Amino acid sequence: MHQTTLRAILSPTMAINVEITKNASETGLSVLRRFTKRVQGSGIIPRVRSLRYNQRVLSHYKNKMKTLEGIKNRAEKAELMKQGKLVEEPRKRGR
């Protein structure tokens, strides 16, 4: 007799979160349905999505460098506008 086992793993380094074993008289479709319900109930999908779109907080140094770069770019733009090499475009307002 052949046993079918379905497993959901969050990542290769983590433990198995959901495991379903096919019963003797159970169809493949019902195993899949039971597995899907177990995955939904375990909360794996919201956790993965929250990790997927999570961004790290920038370090103090990175923030400082980004700010200094912005200041430098604004100064260069102002200088080019003074020299007449850059035409200031009117700011677009909201819809």
Q: Regarding predicted confidence, which is higher, 10 or 46?
A: 46
Whether residue 95 lies inside any domain: the answer is no
Instruction: Note the residue count of the chain.
Output: 95
**pTM of the predicted model, to two decimals?**
0.45
pLDDT at 62: 97
Q: Is 13 in the same domain as 43?
A: yes
Q: Is 16 in the same domain as 45?
A: yes
Q: Is 44 in the same domain as 62?
A: no
**Number of domains comprising the chain:** 2
Q: Is 61 in the same domain as 74?
A: yes
Mean of pLDDT values over 10-22: 71
Residue 6 pLDDT > 80: no
Q: Is 48 in the same domain as 69?
A: no
Pick from 73, 61, 2, 60: which is nearest to 31 by CA?
2
Q: Is 9 in the same domain as 36?
A: yes
Q: Is 83 in the same domain as 68?
A: yes
Q: What is the CA radius of gyration of the chain?
A: 28
pLDDT at 13: 54
pLDDT at 88: 84
Q: What is the DSSP letter of 11?
A: S
Interval 39-94: pLDDT, tens: 888 888 888 888 888 888 999 999 999 999 999 999 999 999 999 998 888 888 88
Tokens encoding 25: 């008289």
pLDDT at 43: 84
Domain that holds residue 36: 5-52
